[in-house]
Structure 1
Amino acid sequence: MRTVLVTGPGGAGRTTVAAATALASASEGARTLLVSADPIPGFPDATAPTPVAAGLRSVRIDPAAHFRSELLALQEQLSSVLELLGGNPLDGEELTELPGSGELALLHALRRAAHGDWSDEAYDLLVVDLPPLRDALRLLALPGQLRRYLRRLLPQERQAARALRPVLAQLAGVPMPAQWLYEAAARRDAELAQVEALIEDRATTLRLVAEPGPAADEALRTARTGLALHGLRADAPVANRLLPGHSPDPFFAALAAQQEKSLGHWADEGAAPVRVAHLGRDPQGPDDL
């Protein structure tokens, strides 16, 4: 399965380009799955893969639901210890997501898509609408960072002492959660390894979307540095919302000239950009995309 990760500066139209990429792939006969955290006009707002068009399914990430399910599952595992300490269990309805839950939900979605957990159907292409550029680069480094933290906190070589835990539990009269803790850490490590393998796979590329201009020039330079550090391959950048260069209006003609100058810089520094014309409005559905 090939994977295309789509990102760009905030407001550059990365979600639009991700959806258009998925539609174009499906129209060419590839079985395609689109994963996004943002709503897309004309696409189903479903948290499970749902048909959009022939060969295309989409899924919307729900960070709040993922946060609730993960925290409630952890609470269930700790129930005996919490009862001993007199803790009051949390109700799912009172939980609100914390900062960072969106990134973890997206990593979970990547693992499910790569591992085929969502359905029995195999996909030829996975298109992922990532957060804005700087957040996306941090997100792509997150699996490796979390794996390092897990290995430091719960070294696998110390699991040999787990045979003593039942004895310690009897002596102390307190349930010892270390066994399931190590098992949970091993599961998390394996899941993060799957996401890390997907990101580092040679069939995975990152598609940068930007609206040509001085700010986008600087953002693309930053992106190229980040991609090089993480060993990621980039597709040709997508120049979004290009204005027509033949406008008789001096204002629009000057903006178009500035865009063309910016595109010249992009071509000098890397692959020639893919050009996407400005519709004059925001896309309203699959036909516009």
Structure 2
Amino acid sequence: MRTILITGPGGSGRTTVAAATALRAAGEGTPTLVVGADRTDTLGAALGAATGPEPTRITPNLTAWRPDAAARFREDLTAFQTRAANVLDLLGASRLDAEELTPLPGAEELSLLRAVRDAALSERHELLVVDLPPTPRALDLLALPEELRRYLRRLLPPERQAARALRPVLGRLAGVPMPADWLYETAARWDVELAAVEAVLGDRRTAVRLVAEPGPAGADAVRTARLGLALRGLPTETLIANRVLPEAVPLHGLLAQQRKALAEWTDALPVSPVAHLGHDPRGADDLAALAVPGVNTGHPPVEWPVVDRTAEDGVLVWHVPLPGAIRDDLDLVRRGDEVVITVGGFRRIVALPSALRRCTVAGAALRDGELRLRFAPDPQLWPR
């Protein structure tokens, strides 16, 4: 399944663009599912038909869905209490009833990610369009699967499950109870679910469409979004320049800002201007009037190649694309077989490619929107 993730700064019209993208693909004969993330039915308002926790057929080829994060949270926590019944009874803890549970921060994000996973694994649709939250929340959301899997592996390493027979003995020696099998089984199940989400996000058929109004605020938001997405290895397929004013409008200051932003964007990535309709688009006719781009078959993945320059310079060079990055905002730390990259308020811990794990860091440079990390082979680890 082809997946298109759509985000942009708040108020940029990303939900409208998501609805228009899905409607166009469905009109061209592609079975399409559009998933919304907002609590209020902004997606339904754009489509001209109410959407909710159950998939709703909008047209013969278009289905809309807004997952219910509260219901999913109640189901998950109720199941967790059932599995942890013995521990809760030992602690004397009283269980929470499903009716009194309200979602905790992050529950909506997890619900949306699982909905994306479920939709991508379904064979009923060929295209999945996801209306993500505004850009800052969307970038945190896209980072969540990898970060949670990392935490799980550190807190409950899978290899410790092999010592099940020794746990009672170890518990007596340590004087503390050892984690029960159900805890490892729960962690393993979560790891599988998060891995499935990561697989969807990392699929070469998955790409991001940014939505922004051409102007100073939109230009800043796009620069930030491109950097955050690149650090996550997600390709920006196109930038939807939304609500573009016609040149005949007598607003010379706004038109000048618009031209400047469009020129800057066009030099950096594919841009698809969408004209301002003069009102908020509502319903199929208005959405059809928006010239959103069609859906292609795929997009080249973001590559982080390692180039062998040992013959010329004695080093291996790791190329990491970071468009818009500033040297003063960049910080790098190697920790064992990982490197911690912090740039522009974003942070990611990345496992080194296998060849670089046997090397020492020889330097780094940021040029033309690309970080180049130089590694010198460690003679004690490399064969002669």
Instruction: For residue 245 of structure 1, give the secondary structure of its aligned residue in structure 2.
Output: coil
Aligned counterparts, 1:37-186, within 5 A: 37-38=37-38, 39=41, 40=43, 41=45, 42-116=48-122, 121-164=123-166, 178-186=180-188
Equivalence for 2:32? 32
- How many angstroms apart in 2 are the aligned matches of 1:177 and 1:286? 55
- In 2, Cα distance between the equivalents of 1:192 and 1:85? 30
Moved more, 60-69 or 179-188: 60-69
% identical aligned pairs: 61
* Conservation of the 8 A alpha-carbon contact between 1:212 and 1:259: yes
Matched residues in 1 for 2:242 and 2:61: separation? 25
Moved more, 26-35 or 39-48: 39-48
Counterparts of 2:68 and 2:196, CA distance in 1: 21
Larger deviation, residues 147-156 vs 219-228: 219-228
1:282 paired to 2:284? no
Distance 2:130 2:260 in 1: 30
1:172 aligns with none
Picking from 202, 205, 222, the partner of 2:224 is: 222
> Helix, strand or coil: the match of 1:236?
strand
Q: CA deviation at 1:130?
A: 0.7
In the alignment, is residue 2 of structure 1 matched against residue 8 of structure 2? no
Q: Which has the higher contact order (CA 8 A, sep 6+)?
A: 1
How far apart, CA to CA, are the structure 2 residues paired with 1:141 and 1:107?
11
The equivalent of 1:235 in structure 2 is 237
CA distance in 1, matches of 2:24, 2:59: 11
Counterparts of 2:82 and 2:119, CA distance in 1: 26
Q: Residues 63-87 of structure 1: CA distance to partner in whole angstroms, max 9, x if unpaired?
A: 2222211111111111232223322
What TM-score do the two structures reach when normalised by structure 2?
A: 0.68
The answer (yes or no) to whether the contact 1:7–1:14 under 8 Å persists in 2 is: yes
* Secondary structure class of the residue paired with 1:127: strand
CA offsets per residue over residues 103-155 of structure 1, 9 Å max, x none?
A: 11111111111222xxxx43111101111112111211111111111111111
Determine helix, strand or coil for the equivalent of 1:3. Answer: strand
For the Cα contact (< 8 Å) 1:245–1:257, is it kept in 2?
no
2:339 alignment partner in structure 1? none
Please list every run of at least 4 consecutive aligned residues from structure 1 whose deviation after the TM superposition is greater than 6 angstroms: 166-169
Q: Do 1:18 and 1:129's aligned partners in 2 also have CA atoms closer than 8 Å?
A: yes
CA distance in 1, matches of 2:178, 2:58: 49
TM-score (norm 1): 0.90
Asked if 2 retains the 8 angstrom alpha-carbon contact of 1:246 and 1:253, the reply is no
Higher CA-based Rg: 2
CA distance in 2 between partners of 1:106 and 1:57 (Å): 16
Question: How many pairs align?
Answer: 278
* Counterpart AA for 2:279: R
Q: Which residue of 2 aligns with 1:23?
A: 23
- Paired amino acid for 2:103: E
Please, which runs of 5 or more residues in structure 2 have no aligned partner?
Answer: 172-176, 288-384
Counting strand residues as a fraction of each chain, which structure ranks higher? 2
Alignment correspondent of 1:213: 215
Q: Is the Cα–Cα contact under 8 Å of residues 6 and 18 in structure 2 kept in the other structure?
A: yes
Residue equivalent to 1:12:
12
For the residues of structure 2 that align with 1:113 and 1:162, how far apart are their CA atoms? 36
